[in-house]
Amino acid sequence: MSKTAIITGGGSGLGQATAVRLAKEGVNIAVVDVSEKGGNETVEMVKELGPDAIFIKVDVSKAEEVKKYVDQTVEHFGSIDYFFNNAGISGSGKYFLDTDISEIEQIVGINLMGALYGVRYVAEVMLKNGGGSIVNTASSAGVIGQDSVVTYSATKHGIVGLTKSMVAEYAKDGLRVNAIAPGPTETPMVKAFYEANPEMKANATGGIPQRRLGTADEVAELVTFLLTSKAEYINGEVIRIDGGFTNTK
């Protein structure tokens, strides 16, 4: 029987790359994103590889919309086996005291509350079915402090706490929850951030021992490994994928 995955932020970047990678393993995908264009593009990419896919337009900062994507996935596919809890935004790159309160609220709403709501509703379904696997997207800014991304960093540290604490409560019931901590990666979100803050790209690349940004495909390989049965005894881990970036901090 085919497995089913939900991917938030599935319309581009890490989410889209992971959808394609999981589809190559025969996994059906519920693509969740605020962008209809990107979400539907991912659906077509998945279907071309054979598995079924649906797009669900959602603002993950709203609990009722998160519940909607969970309910629609179960209605269409019958179950949820994997969850890539990935939707997020970076913010403007302003120093914290120059950041508008509205931006702080938006980042927290999408990155942290959206992730909490997702785990809350998805894990409920998984536990009823005997378990499942979740990968949360943290960040290098979730394992070290970084300037210009204070609110983003705070939300990603929160993702680490969510990951570890869910394992403490529910690993005994068949739930696996891990997190990835990507460093600077070639995605549309990161590209837009660096276009607005060009000096930060040079600083970031220079600080990576491998002297390049990561790729979405590299991250997708890690997420696929962590989600699937190949990683059955890995639980509560935060896996850095950053070319050595945080190792030097």
pLDDT tens string 199-225: 666 666 778 999 889 999 999 999 999
Per-residue confidence (pLDDT) for residue 196, from 0 to 100:
75
Name the 3-class secondary structure at 60: coil
* 152 catalytic residue (yes or no): yes
Residue 142 C-beta-side C-alpha neighbours within 13 Å: 29
* Strand runs labelled E in 13-129: 28-33, 53-57, 82-85
Q: Which of 82, 121, 152, 170 is catalytic?
A: 152
- What is the C-alpha separation between 215 and 6, in angstroms, rounded? 21
Q: Give me 94's structure tokens.
A: 């302003």
| C-alpha distances in Å from residue 144, one per residue of 94, 112, 137, 187, 246 | 18, 17, 15, 21, 7
Question: Are the CB atoms for 93 and 196 separated by under 8 Å?
Answer: yes
- Whole-number CA gyration radius for the chain: 17
Per-residue confidence (pLDDT) for residue 201, from 0 to 100:
66
- Which amino acid is located at 224 in the chain? T
- What is the C-alpha separation between 17 and 92, in angstroms, rounded? 24
What is the pTM assigned to this prediction? Answer: 0.94
CATH for 4-241 (2.130.10.10, 3.90.1640.30, 3.40.50.720, 1.10.1740.10): 3.40.50.720
Residues of the chain with pLDDT under 70: 199-204, 249
Per-residue confidence (pLDDT) for residue 170, from 0 to 100:
98
Per-residue confidence (pLDDT) for residue 191, from 0 to 100:
74
